Structure 1
Amino acid sequence: MPIDIARIQLRRMRMRLKHPFGTSFGTLQNKEFFIIEAIDSAGETGYGESVAFSAPWYTEETVETNLHIMRDFLIPLLKNNPVNHPDELSRLFAPIRRNNMAKAALEGAVWDLYAKQQNVSLAAALGGTRSRVEVGVSIGIQPTINELLEKIAAYVEEGYKRIKLKIKPGQDIDMLKAVRNAFPDIALMADANSAYTLEDIQHLKQLDALQLLMIEQPLAHNDIIDHAKLQQSITTPICLDESIHALSDVEKAHRLGSCQIINVKSGRVGGLTAARRIHDYCLENNMPVWCGGMLESGIGRAHNIALASLPQFILPGDISGSDRYWDKDIIDPEIVVQDGYVAVPDKPGIGVTVDQQALEAFTKSIKSYHL
């Protein structure tokens, strides 16, 4: 029986991060995105969230391209081809090349609505096995090392299980050494966001003395082959992020020895169904995975928590508490970290209540499409 979807609503949102977030490719403070509402004939609503940024510096997708693809291609496909289960959307959307973030945003809303209609949590619908997930925190590039150390100390005090630091040439080895000297026992990793090349092999070998949990995406955003050569040259585990857009990328990276760890972001790979398939492959091949973050609101964060409840997500994910990013989130209660863990909601769907007043306050425009 087809999933009852009467209407799709696209809310264009704008929220301001509490603090600027700096990476190797720029600094972000104002976040624009879409909240997707899949509404059934009884008025039940499933929520999804787009994770593309306003500029195409993470992938080629942007807020504007997400709107174009959802409005002009994906929603018409869904209107003309009712589905019985969210897993079917991957095949339905396959004729549209790439545009994974647009696909994931719409698919996420359908997954939430489906789980609510089935009266099960999204985590249970996906096959999750955990009642709580370990979480880490991602810290952008800071003006000074002292400011960075102060931030890390605060997050360690809060109980975060892993600290991720953004790095780039000129702000890497010395900074990481200072952090490791100050915090000799924390689980520490570095995220390069493709800032290096194979010419930097000797430089990156210095990481091996720092006992990092991993270095994330050191080389080109679309590379798998050069990462294999780098992994052969360093003992620090490489984690691939931007290079992974589909299960086939994971299979190739595994066969080539390009990495030891995979960062799974449902937006980057095209949705929860694709993310679960990657998880299953990594489980079969004993490759650790963890759930990456894209500065989501509480809605996107709730989707990530459900995904991270699957058994092979054995490393802490970027699923910080709401107050890490926002003065006011759009869910109530907000997501809270306790002793380095976040509880997996067990209520139907994403399991959190959307704060309608806050949702309206951050909404810039609404477009509605009847199915």
Structure 2
Amino acid sequence: MPRVRELEVFRLVLPYGARSESLLVKLTDHGGMTGWGEAVSPEPKAWSRLEESLAALLIGVDWEHPDAVPSGDRAVDMACWDLWTRMRGVPLAHAIGGTRTSVMATVRLAPDPSVESLVARVNQQVCAGYGHVTLDIRPGWDVEPVRAVRQAYPALTLAVDGGNAYTDRGQLVALDSYGLEVIERPFPLGDVHAHAALQDEVTASVAVEVRSTAELDDYLTLRAAKVLLLRPTAFPSLSEARRAHDRAAAAGWDIQCAGGQGAGLARAATVAVASLPGCTLPCDVTQPPKQNQIVTPLVGANAGVVAVPLTQPGLGHTIDETRLARLAKESFHA
């Protein structure tokens, strides 16, 4: 039974790409075992809440399972899972019900200055071993780039991500003629009826991203999609993410895991969830640059395949604490 004797919290501003922020939590039990968790782009008050309440919540308190720790914080939940599974000597992927030893990956490509340069970037990724490509699209950058990529690669498995930016489904319906596998996040969050109308008109599967099982139930009721874009770190706990997986899989939906941001721990949790049996589509752990990561081994794809750590307990990665100390802008210890 874990009993935390000390904890540390770090605020990181990652120096590459969009300079995203992460909160890292380190828990150490009385036997010296550690568990780590990460919250990517945390809520504005997350730091002060952890500083004020985390010690009283965890230090010296016995708990039998991560679900018994009512923290309401994603980083704390992940750290509890990591500690709990390390103490038992089992990989996190197995502990939550994962069955895969590796998962296929998609590579995500942002809008490009020109269609020609986009096709060249797709070529680079295909040559690197990716058989699945996701193109970020926006109104005004959609039909032409998709047409060009499809003409250059007739057999490539292709998805698009609308970034919740569309209000009209006309252009999205036009894309359906290019043999897309998935149209991700076409409309603003919560517009269930717009997603349902689009799914009725296209043969591609519409993918929706939710942050709770209650939101998912709204889409399931109206059959407003066929794919759940499951971002584990967007849920309050890994158990809640698992419940969303179970509901979507029971409804016959495909599931794609996503979570490429952060310092590596959140990516590792994404890979663990992607090993669940219902996660049938390639996962997305490709952004931002790998230099952001402070974990060993790095989390990412090799020739379009991501390994699921099964020889090490917990998340399956170690922390480069020297690099962590360089990136940490604030920290506290209790």
- TM bucket normalised to smaller: over 0.9
Equivalent pair of 2:262/2:292 in contact (CA under 8 Å): no
SS in 1 for 2:20: strand
One of 106, 114, 120 as aligned partner of 1:144 = 114
Q: Percent of aligned pairs with the same residue?
A: 30
Change (3 A) 1:201 1:364: same
Q: Residues 154 and 232 (structure 1 numbering): CA distance in 2 closer, same or farther, change over 3 Å?
A: same
Greater displacement, 114-123 / 139-148: 139-148
Residue 156 (structure 2) aligns with = 186
**Which residue, 20, 42, 54 being the options, matches 1:31?**
20
In the alignment, which residue of structure 2 is the partner of 1:58? none
CA deviation after TM superposition for structure 1 residue 260, in Å: 0.5
Whether the 8 Å contact between 1:207 and 1:236 is mirrored in structure 2 is no
Counterpart code for 1:207:
L
- What is the 5 A alignment of 1:58-207? 62=43, 64-72=44-52, 76-78=56-58, 82-89=62-69, 92-93=70-71, 103-197=73-167, 200-207=168-175
Deviation at 1:225, TM superposition (A): 2.7
How many angstroms does 1:194 deviate by?
A: 1.1
State the match for 2:298 in structure 1: 334
Q: Distance in 1 between matches of 2:233 and 2:36?
A: 14
d(CA) in 2 for partners of 1:80 and 1:299? 25
CA distance in 1, matches of 2:107, 2:46: 27
Counterpart-to-counterpart distance in 1, 2:56 and 2:124:
48
Q: Distance in 2 between matches of 1:161 and 1:75?
A: 47
Match of 1:225? 193
* 1:105/1:177 CA distance change after superposition, 3 Å: same
What letter matches 1:301 in structure 2?
A: R
Q: CA deviation at 1:309?
A: 0.8
Q: Secondary structure at the match of 1:141?
A: coil
Distance in 1 between the 2:164 and 2:290 partners? 27
Which of 255, 258, 277 lines up with 2:243 in the alignment? 277
Determine if the alignment matches structure 1 residue 292 to structure 2 residue 262. Answer: no
1:360 maps to 2:325: yes
Give the superposition deviation at 1:47.
Answer: 1.1
8 A contact 2:93–2:272 mirrored in 1 = yes
| Distance (whole Å) between structure 2 residues aligned to residue 224 and residue 269 of structure 1 | 19
Report the Cα distance in structure 2 between the residues aligned to 1:145 and 1:69, rounded to whole angstroms.
46
Q: Which residue of 1 aligns with 2:180?
A: 212
Aligned length: 333
Q: Deviations over 1:102-136 (max 9, x none)?
A: x2222011110111111111111111111111111
TM-score, normalised on structure 1?
A: 0.83
CA distance in 1, matches of 2:82, 2:147: 43
The structural deviation recorded for 1:88 is 2.8
Deviation at 1:204, TM superposition (A): 1.8
**Deviations along 1:225-268, whole A, 9 cap, x unmatched?**
32112222333211001xx1211222221120111000111121
Counterpart for residue 250 of structure 1: 216
In 1, the alpha carbon distance for the partners of 2:195 and 2:150 equals: 25
The residue type paired with residue 101 of structure 2 is S
Deviations 1:306-336 (A, max 9, x none): 111111111001023x8x6133631223235
For 2:165 and 2:55, the matched residues in 1 are separated by 36
The alpha carbon displacement at 1:143 in A equals 2.2
Q: Retained in 2: the 8 A contact 1:217–1:240?
A: yes
Say which of 325, 328, 336 aligns to 2:289: 325
Question: 1:74 and 1:273, CA in 2 relative to 1: closer, same or farther beyond 3 A?
Answer: farther
After superposition, give the CA deviation of every residue in 1:114-172 in whole Å (9 maximum; x if it has no partner): 11111111111111111111111122222222232222211111212321111111111
| Cα displacement (A) at 1:72 | 4.1
Q: 2 CA distance for matches of 1:278 and 1:189?
A: 22
Contact between 2:285 and 2:300, CA under 8 Å: does it hold in 1?
Answer: no
Alpha-carbon distance in 1 for matches of 2:207, 2:6:
39
The 1-side partners of 2:268 and 2:100 are apart by 14
CA contact (8 A) 1:51 1:294 kept: no
